[in-house]
């Protein structure tokens, strides 16, 4: 056996041989392209934990879909999107109408949603089903799931591109946007709700391929590491997607060869990239230890 | 240029704004004349920022009203600095170009004429050579100048500044004051919340002295008197939870 065929077996073979590996690869890459840039925006808003909160918010809808239609992807996905959007919208309304800040009202709402979701699941399904919903499996993506992920990724990337300027302004200087919006008679919160909607649909797409908890990982981990590398936003967005894609491919291969669960392995790979970034990136630890000579001006 | 001319740009009519029933502004009335240059001064917690936010429509009055004659889109507002994240990965030029938002919106094209105006604005605040710098690398004074460049690009008839010179060195302050005088000379209406009495004396011909209630409003020399300042200091900063409900609005309604 020569070297090239060994490399083939290691890196290409699994995908060439098995359709389920190809579907897992495509859906993971699609998510990498769409979810990771959203994660960068979330870190910039200092809302890195929002994804986590929203995964819980998604749960009652997923549970309801599951109770009514069993393990049906469209039902669970639709339910998840609706309940996620509902929680985000109610939290937004509460924070605008009362003295509570966005994060506080969101925390209250997602905890309520989580309680409802867990109650519904424990009344209906067995423990195994709960595990399936929470930890999903990239290797179990079917044709339908692939279409969902690809559709969400397309919508999400296009929306991000079309509304990019507004998203950046709303993240960077919301009070400027609010002042300008009052001047123009438009509504500044539309930007925020639209952005949250993108986050929710990406999380729901992710829960099918990687499981809800892992979906947040692919959104946030590469985003956090990407921020260490660049000082410009487009570069950070691109970097996050690339890191997520690398983690996706490496994680799938590792989980195939080592027979480990795909979702956690992918997130583990993203974690390794994060550790590397912490060490060697311009904003990381080593450049601060190695005192490079400074310029005169 | 609609609002540039004679008459009142902002008419404040018996304005009250309260947070949890405690007034931050209490029955304020008066007018900002078109093309006027007004300093808003007063002790901490006297309602200066609240007044600006109320003019912008960002805070709702609990009584009375504010009428703004300028076309809404020709108002620019510089909030207090603490509300922004300066570590955001954005270039100086892009921040300045945000001033075009009111005109081009979310989808309009930024053509070379906008780039030229941004360049001119960056030069006007003395930041040439900084266009491609991330804002995170700027000092706080430089960042404030970037925000002023953005104000230039907004080309507004009514400009509201909330403590624009807080924590700036005297040289930067002087150059930004020059800019404000240029705006005044161009006929724009400028309202600035300030703390430095000497600065107000030297540069602003109109002054509004607040202490939650209106203490004095008019030409600076007549407002900045020891008697007025003394009265402003006397109006208590602390809220009184036992304070009685104010019936000024009721009695007025009864009289009318």
User: Which band of pLDDT confidence, cut at 50, 70 and 90, is reported for residue A165?
Assistant: very high
Cα–Cα distance measured from residue B105 to residue A71, given in angstroms and rounded to the nearest whole number? 44
pLDDT, residue A253, reads 94
Two structure tokens written together for B212 = 């939650």
- DSSP-derived pairing of the beta strands B37-41 and B206-211: parallel
DSSP state of B74: G
Topology of A19-280 in CATH?
ABC transporter involved in vitamin B12 uptake, BtuC (1.10.3470)
Who among B58, B73, B89 is closest to A184 (CB)? Answer: B73
| Contact by Cβ (8 Å): A75, A144 | no
Bridge partners of residue B78, in order along the sequence:
B161
User: What is the chain A residue with the closest CA to B53?
Assistant: A179
pLDDT, residue B71, reads 66
Q: Domain of B2? A: 1-71+158-163+194-243
Question: DSSP labels for A23-75?
Answer: HHHHHHHHHHHHHHHHHHHHHHTT-TTHHHHHHHHHHHHHHHHHHHHSS-HHH
Two structure tokens written together for A237 = 């967005």
Q: In chain B, how many domains are there?
A: 1
Cα–Cα distance measured from residue A231 to residue B171, given in angstroms and rounded to the nearest whole number? 29
Q: Which residue carries 């008697």 as its tokens?
A: B227
In angstroms, how far is the first alpha carbon of chain B from the final one?
37
- DSSP-derived pairing of the beta strands B8-19 and B158-162: unpaired
CB contact B136 to A (< 8 Å): yes
Report the candidate in A186, A211, A164, A205 with the shortest Cα–Cα distance to residue A40: A164
Question: DSSP labels for A92-136?
Answer: HHHHHHSS--HHHHHHHHHHHHHHHHHHHHHHHS-HHHHHHHHH-
Pick A168 or A214 by higher pLDDT. A168
Average pLDDT over residues A249-278: 92
Chain A segment 183-202 residues within 8 A of B by beta carbon are 183-185
| Residue A7 burial (CB count, 10 A) | 11
- Structural domain includes residue B134: no
Two structure tokens written together for B49 = 């920022």
Q: Which residue carries 């009052």 as its tokens?
A: A182
Give the least confident one: A79-83, A133-137, B7-11. Answer: A133-137
Report the candidate in B233, B193, B165, B206 with the shortest Cα–Cα distance to residue B50: B193
Report the candidate in A170, A156, A208 with the shortest Cα–Cα distance to residue A28: A208
Class of residue A70 by CB neighbours under 10 A (exposed 0-12, middle 13-18, buried 19+): exposed
Q: Which residue carries 């591109």 as its tokens?
A: A161
- Structural domain includes residue B51: yes
Two structure tokens written together for A261 = 């669960």
Report the candidate in A70, A52, A64, A165 with the shortest Cα–Cα distance to residue A117: A64
User: In the predicted model, what is the mean pLDDT of chain A?
Assistant: 86
| Contact by Cβ (8 Å): A75, A66 | yes
Two structure tokens written together for B2 = 């609609």
CB contact A127 to B (< 8 Å): no
Separation in Å, CA B225 to CA A151, B29, B42, B201, B215: 69, 20, 13, 11, 11
Bridge partners of residue B75, in order along the sequence:
B158
CATH at B53: 3.40.50.300
Pick B82 or A288 by higher pLDDT. A288
Separation in Å, CA A119 to CA A63, A112, A123, A124, B215: 9, 11, 6, 9, 60
Report the candidate in A193, A206, A215 with the shortest Cα–Cα distance to residue A77: A206
Pick A293 or A129 by higher pLDDT. A293
Q: Do B134 and A171 touch (CB under 8 A)?
A: no
User: What is the chain A residue with the closest CA to B92?
Assistant: A232
pLDDT at A183 over 80: no
Pick A1 or A16 by higher pLDDT. A16
Report the candidate in B159, B180, B176 with the shortest Cα–Cα distance to residue B167: B176
Predicted confidence (pLDDT) per residue in B171-222, tens digit: 889 989 999 999 999 999 999 999 888 899 999 999 999 988 888 899 999 9
Report the candidate in B205, B185, B180, B160 with the shortest Cα–Cα distance to residue B49: B160
Cα–Cα distance measured from residue B93 to residue B116, given in angstroms and rounded to the nearest whole number? 11
Q: What burial letters (b/e) apply to A14-45, b meaning 16+ CB within 10 Å?
A: bbeeeeebebbbbbbbbbbbbbbbbbbbbbbb
Cα–Cα distance measured from residue B237 to residue B44, given in angstroms and rounded to the nearest whole number? 8
ipTM comes to 0.82
Two structure tokens written together for A229 = 């590398």
Report the candidate in B78, B227, B218 with the shortest Cα–Cα distance to residue B149: B78
Q: Do A173 and B134 touch (CB under 8 A)?
A: no
Q: Which residue carries 């959104």 as its tokens?
A: A219
Pick A187 or A277 by higher pLDDT. A277
> Reduced to 3 states, what is the DSSP secondary structure of residue A280?
helix
pLDDT, residue A182, reads 72
Cα–Cα distance measured from residue A125 to residue A68, given in angstroms and rounded to the nearest whole number? 11
Min Cα–Cα distance to chain B from A165, Å: 6
Q: Do A172 and B84 touch (CB under 8 A)?
A: yes
Separation in Å, CA B130 to CA B32, B136, B175: 36, 12, 17
CB contact B101 to A (< 8 Å): yes
> Reduced to 3 states, what is the DSSP secondary structure of residue B214?
strand
Cα–Cα distance measured from residue B90 to residue A141, given in angstroms and rounded to the nearest whole number? 39
Class of residue A73 by CB neighbours under 10 A (exposed 0-12, middle 13-18, buried 19+): middle
User: What is the chain B residue with the closest CA to A174?
Assistant: B84
Q: What are phi and psi of B132, to 5 degrees?
A: -95, 15
Q: What burial letters (b/e) apply to B150-172, b meaning 16+ CB within 10 Å?
A: bbbbbbbbbbbbbbbbeebeeeb
Predicted confidence (pLDDT) per residue in A85-124, tens digit: 999 889 888 887 888 888 888 899 999 998 998 888 777 6
pLDDT, residue B152, reads 93
Q: Which stretches in chain B have pLDDT values below 70? A: 1-6, 70-73, 82-83, 236-242, 248-256
Q: Do B75 and A169 touch (CB under 8 A)?
A: no
Q: Which residue carries 């240059």 as its tokens?
A: B37
CB contact A180 to B (< 8 Å): yes
Positions of E strands within chain B: 8-19, 22-33, 37-41, 63-68, 75-78, 158-162, 189-193, 206-211, 213-219
> Reduced to 3 states, what is the DSSP secondary structure of residue A77?
helix
User: What is the chain B residue with the closest CA to A228?
Assistant: B89
- DSSP-derived pairing of the beta strands B8-19 and B22-33: antiparallel
Q: Do A230 and B72 touch (CB under 8 A)?
A: no
């Amino acid at each position: 056996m020569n070297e090239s065929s060994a490399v083939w077996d290691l890196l290409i073979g699994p995908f060439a041989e098995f359709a389920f590996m190809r579907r897992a690869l495509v859906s993971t890459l699609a998510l990498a392209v769409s979810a990771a840039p959203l994660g960068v925006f979330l870190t910039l808003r200092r809302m890195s934990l929002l994804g986590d909160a929203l995964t819980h918010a998604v749960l009652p809808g997923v549970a309801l879909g599951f109770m009514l239609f069993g393990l049906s992807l469209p039902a669970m996905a639709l339910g998840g999107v609706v309940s996620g959007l509902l929680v985000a919208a109610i939290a937004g309304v509460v924070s605008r109408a009362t003295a509570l800040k966005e994060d506080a009202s969101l925390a209250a709402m997602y905890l309520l949603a989580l309680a409802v979701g867990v109650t519904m699941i424990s009344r209906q399904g067995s423990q195994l089903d709960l595990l399936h919903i929470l930890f999903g499996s990239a290797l179990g993506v079917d044709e339908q799931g692939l279409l969902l992920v690809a559709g969400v990724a397309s919508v999400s990337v296009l929306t991000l591109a079309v509304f990019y300027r507004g998203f950046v302004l709303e993240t960077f200087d919301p009070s400027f946007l609010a002042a300008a919006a009052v001047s123009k008679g438009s509504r500044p919160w539309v930007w925020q709700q639209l952005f949250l909607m993108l986050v929710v649909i990406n999380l729901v797409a992710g829960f099918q391929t990687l499981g809800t908890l892992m979906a947040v990982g692919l959104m946030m981990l590469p985003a956090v590491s990407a921020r260490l590398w660049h000082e410009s936003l487009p570069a950070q967005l691109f970097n996050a997607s690339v890191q997520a894609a690398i983690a996706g491919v490496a994680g799938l291969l590792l989980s195939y060869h080592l027979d480990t669960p795909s979702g956690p392995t992918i997130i583990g790979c993203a974690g390794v990239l994060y550790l590397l970034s912490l060490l060697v990136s311009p904003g990381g630890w080593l450049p601060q230890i190695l005192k490079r000579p400074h310029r005169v001006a | 240029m609609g609002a540039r001319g004679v008459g009142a740009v902002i008419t404040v009519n018996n304005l009250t704004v309260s947070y949890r029933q405690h007034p931050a502004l209490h029955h304020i009335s008066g007018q900002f004349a078109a093309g006027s240059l007004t300093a808003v001064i007063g002790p901490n917690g006297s309602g200066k920022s609240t007044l600006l936010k109320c003019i912008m429509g960002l805070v709702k009055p609990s009584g009375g009203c504010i009428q703004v004659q300028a076309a809404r889109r020709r108002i620019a507002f510089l909030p207090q600095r603490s509300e922004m994240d300066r570590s955001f990965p954005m270039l100086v030029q892009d921040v300045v170009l945000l001033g075009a938002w009111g005109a081009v919106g979310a989808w309009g094209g930024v053509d070379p004429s906008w780039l030229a105006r941004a360049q001119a604005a960056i030069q006007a605040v003395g930041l040439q050579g900084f266009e491609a710098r991330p804002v995170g690398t700027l000092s706080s004074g430089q960042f404030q100048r970037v925000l002023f460049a953005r104000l230039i690009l907004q080309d507004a008839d009514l400009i509201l500044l909330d403590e624009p010179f807080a924590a700036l060195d005297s040289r930067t302050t002087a150059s930004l004051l020059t800019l404000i005088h240029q705006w005044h000379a161009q006929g724009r209406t400028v309202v600035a919340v300030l703390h430095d009495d000497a600065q107000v004396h030297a540069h602003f011909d109109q002054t509004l002295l607040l202490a939650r209630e209106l203490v004095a409003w008019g030409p600076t020399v007549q407002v900045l008197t020891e008697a007025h300042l003394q009265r402003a200091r006397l109006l208590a900063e602390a809220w009184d939870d036992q304070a009685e409900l104010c019936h000024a609005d009721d009695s007025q309604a009864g009289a009318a």
